[in-house]
């Protein structure tokens, strides 16, 4: 009976630690998504994507995607924090993979003389901020969740 009580006490401790860790990760995620939102807005207006003056549609679509994703994830993360749902930013790894592949394909095809991609090379390089920030967020999430698993 005493071992069961100790087990339940330790389980509650790990659950609380997990919830606190996920809440911290969600707050870090909100900050990262807000930074990406501001960066997307900056790029959309700096390059003319937001007002239709840009001829580099393939690059602009990445900024549009990150703009929408940031708004959606900030709202989702805030809801998860309020409802105390143990969730973390790594759950959005699929969008990271898509943006990374998109960026990689653009890098490959802008240097191909036979491709019909007319994107400005400098504009393509500005996209690296998104996969870079997402990669750092994923690394932080993996590290923090490994600490939770280690504690359990």
pLDDT digits (tens, 9 = 90+) for 38-81: 999 998 888 877 666 677 777 888 888 899 989 998 999 899 88
Query: Is residue 68 one of the residues assigned to a domain?
Result: yes
Q: How far is Cα 37 from Cα 13, in angstroms, rounded to an integer?
A: 36
Q: Is residue 60 part of a domain?
A: yes
Is 11 among the domain residues?
Answer: no
pLDDT of residue 88: 67
**Quick check: is 4 in a domain?**
no
Percentage of the chain exceeding pLDDT 70: 94
The pLDDT of 99-118, averaged and rounded, is 81
Task: Note whether residue 3 is domain-resident.
Answer: no
Which tokens in the block code for residue 149? 């698993």
pLDDT of residue 40: 92
pLDDT of amino acid 39: 95
Residues 6+ apart with CB under 8 A from 49: 43, 56, 59, 60, 63, 64
Asked whether residue 94 carries a pLDDT value surpassing 70, the answer given is yes
The structure tokens listed for 111 are 């240097």
pLDDT at 105 over 80: yes
2 within a domain of the structure (yes/no): no
Residue 8: per-residue pLDDT: 77
On whether the pTM is more than 0.75, the answer is: yes
CA separation (Å) from 81 to 25, 70, 95, 109? 10, 16, 21, 41
**22 close to 147: Cβ distance less than 8 angstroms:** no
Number of domains making up the chain: 1
Assess if residue 134 is contained within a domain. yes
* Residue ranges making up the domain that contains 55: 16-151
Examine residue 9 and state whether it is found in any structural domain, yes or no. Answer: no
Phi-psi map region of 86: left, alpha, beta (phi>0 left; psi -120 to 50 alpha)? beta
Using the 8-state DSSP alphabet, how is residue 55 labeled? S
């Amino acid at each position: 009976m005493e071992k069961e009580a100790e087990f339940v006490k330790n389980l509650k401790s790990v659950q609380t630690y997990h919830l606190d860790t996920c809440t911290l990760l969600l707050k870090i995620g909100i900050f990262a998504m807000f930074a990406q939102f501001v960066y997307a807005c900056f790029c959309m207006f700096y390059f003319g994507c937001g007002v239709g003056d840009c001829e580099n549609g393939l690059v602009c679509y990445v900024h549009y995607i990150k703009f929408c994703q940031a708004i959606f994830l900030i709202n989702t993360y805030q809801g998860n924090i309020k409802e105390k749902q143990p969730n973390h930013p790594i759950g959005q790894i699929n969008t990271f993979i898509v943006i990374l592949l998109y960026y990689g394909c653009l890098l490959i095809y802008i240097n191909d003389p036979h491709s019909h991609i007319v994107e400005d090379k400098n504009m393509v390089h500005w996209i690296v901020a998104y996969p870079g920030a997402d990669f750092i967020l994923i690394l932080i999430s993996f590290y923090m969740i490994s600490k939770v698993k280690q504690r359990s």
